[in-house]
A = this chain, B = another copy of it.
Amino acid sequence: MLGYDKHAFEPFAVTVDLAVLTLRAGALHVLLVERGQEPYAGRWALPGGFLLPEESAERAARRELAEETGLADVTGLHLEQLRTYSEPGRDPRMRVVSVAFTALLPDPPEPHAGTDAAEARWVPYDKAQGLAFDHDRILADARERVGAKLEYSCLATAFCPAEFTLGELQQVYETVWGTALDRPNFRRKVLATPGFVEAVPGAARLTGGRGKPAALYRAGPATALHPPLLRTPREGRPA
């Protein structure tokens, strides 16, 4: 930040990359685009693009999110900076510094190919491997972060539509964590956390199939979970 006149400095290309996650048919999916040209032609990649001259990374990310998903309104969607990837050589053509973001979507709309994307498609997380550039790592970091944030934040509702059942909310946790949760205990925990969810007053109910209809809830005003909803304890993982 100091001494611009004492150091020569290299200009860098700056991009944003988006790990757009959603839940589809009970499985975690990620939005990918197929590359039309070298390098990595024909390979899948995270959507993204260059920062415009008068745009912050956050604005660029939301612009790209709208372009790639084809959604008219992306203002309500959860979009969060993940981290920045700057290894020299991560792009074979030139020095590119990429600010990665994670976006969470409730309902999976059909993706709309952006102006510079050959094709955009929802791909199950487990099949999203061998991506271009260092996008495998970015995607893994995004999933890791989301899984961790489910523990101590109310982020899970970002995967749900405006009104949802507690069973749907529980499925978010189970899908992202890959573990089964006890339904009564989950319910007790969620309802005991003030501001996490609030019941839809009209005693509305939803028929998903056979069983007893479930009450509907909306996301509440809270953003943090105190105390947290912990995953199965495991041994020391990188902090």
Q: Which residues of A contact B (CB under 8 A)?
A: 1-7, 9-15, 17, 33, 35-37, 45-58, 81, 83-84, 86-88, 91, 93-99, 115-117, 132-133, 135, 149, 152-155, 195, 221-224, 226-228, 230, 233-239
Contacts and interface: CB of A to CB of B under 8 A. Distances in A.
A230 B151 CA distance: 13
A1 B132 contact: yes
A2 B34 CA distance: 9
B1 A15 contact: yes
B227 A10 contact: no
A54 to B, nearest CB: 5
B223 A230 contact: no
Main SS of the interface on chain A? loop
Contacts of A84: 57, 81, 83-84, 99
B227 A233 contact: yes
Count of chain copies: 2
A168 B106 CA distance: 46
B86 A57 contact: yes
Nearest to A46: B1
Contacts of A53: 10, 88, 95
Contact of A57 (B49, B97, B149, B155): B97
A1 B45 contact: yes
Contacts of A98: 1
Contact of A7 (B50, B91, B132, B221): B50
Contacts of A6: 115-116
